[in-house]
Amino acid sequence: MNSIFRLDLSFRAGSTFLGVVFALLLILPMAVAQDSMTPEEIIEALRNPANSTGNTADAVETVTGARGWMSADMKPIMEGKIVGRAWTTLLRPVLKSDTRDYPNYALQILDEAPAGSVLVYVLEDGLEIAGIGNLMATTAKVRGLEATIIDGAARDVTEIRKIGHQVYSRRISPATSVGRMVSVAKQIPVTCAEVMVRPGDYIVGDGDGVVVVPAEVAEDVIALLKDYDDKESKMVPIIEREKSMLKALEIYGRY
């Protein structure tokens, strides 16, 4: 009888232990999910003035081991910081004698991308060809898009500045893409100004240039940016007091 009682207690204890383990297995993923940042929270964090493209480029490279900054000739046509998720289009040169009817993916994403998006247009072999002008900029502005990134040129820049839609491009040129370029794909990974951009990646731009933050490591990048900001804010008083950056580096090691 005692043996049966002990066996029953052991069974109950084992069942209780297994129940606790099972409950933890159910709860832990939910807890992790609750701790994850939403895209809106990620964008808000990346928009923090302390998180310059310089620091963001450093953080992306540290987290991924790869470059995240676009080529140095990718510049804004007006001042201001931009942050948003990428919508991509690829355009290629076409012969003027080619009369085939190509889908206009470039204008499709202009109409389809949600407010706050950053359009990314890659014009293959098209650095001297304008991928945006005043009409596209007007459409982007009234649709509430964050910015347009052109691996190519922009035109109508005086009008675009008046419109107030932020554009980054590698060149400024009056040459139209009509009759010279056709859009061959949308919402695909593209290489823009020497960096891979995938739909949904986060784009950060300011006066220094443009950085791509891969979506899957955005939270790690933000955590590192906070660490950078904490260190740099503490280094400034030391530099002002000691009149030496080396003294601050000895303590915080951030450079």
pLDDT tens digits, 169-208: 999 999 999 989 999 999 999 999 999 999 999 999 999 9
The model's pTM? 0.81
Report pLDDT for 206: 97
- Give the lowest-confidence range in 23-32, 40-49, 243-252: 23-32
- Of 226, 197, 190, the C-alpha closest to 42 is 226
Report pLDDT for 5: 45
Q: How far apart are CA 56 and CA 212, in angstroms?
A: 9
Q: Which residues contact 216 (CB under 8 A, 6 or more apart)?
A: none
Q: What is the pLDDT of residues 98-151, one digit of tens each?
A: 878 889 999 999 999 999 999 999 999 999 999 999 999 999 999 999 999 999
Q: What is the pLDDT of residues 58-92, one digit of tens each?
A: 999 999 999 999 999 999 999 999 999 999 999 99
Locate the domains of the chain by residue range: 1-35, 40-215, 221-252
Q: How far is CA 9 from the centre of its chain?
A: 57
Cβ distance 135 to 143 under 8 Å? no
Examine the pLDDT at 30 and tell me if it is beyond 50.
no
Q: How far apart are CA 56 and CA 58, in angstroms?
A: 5
| CATH match of 40-215 with 3.40.190.10 | no
Residue range 30-40: average pLDDT?
70
Report pLDDT for 31: 43
CB burial class (10 A; 0-12, 13-18, 19+) of residue 233?
exposed
Q: How far apart are CA 234 and CA 228, in angstroms?
A: 10
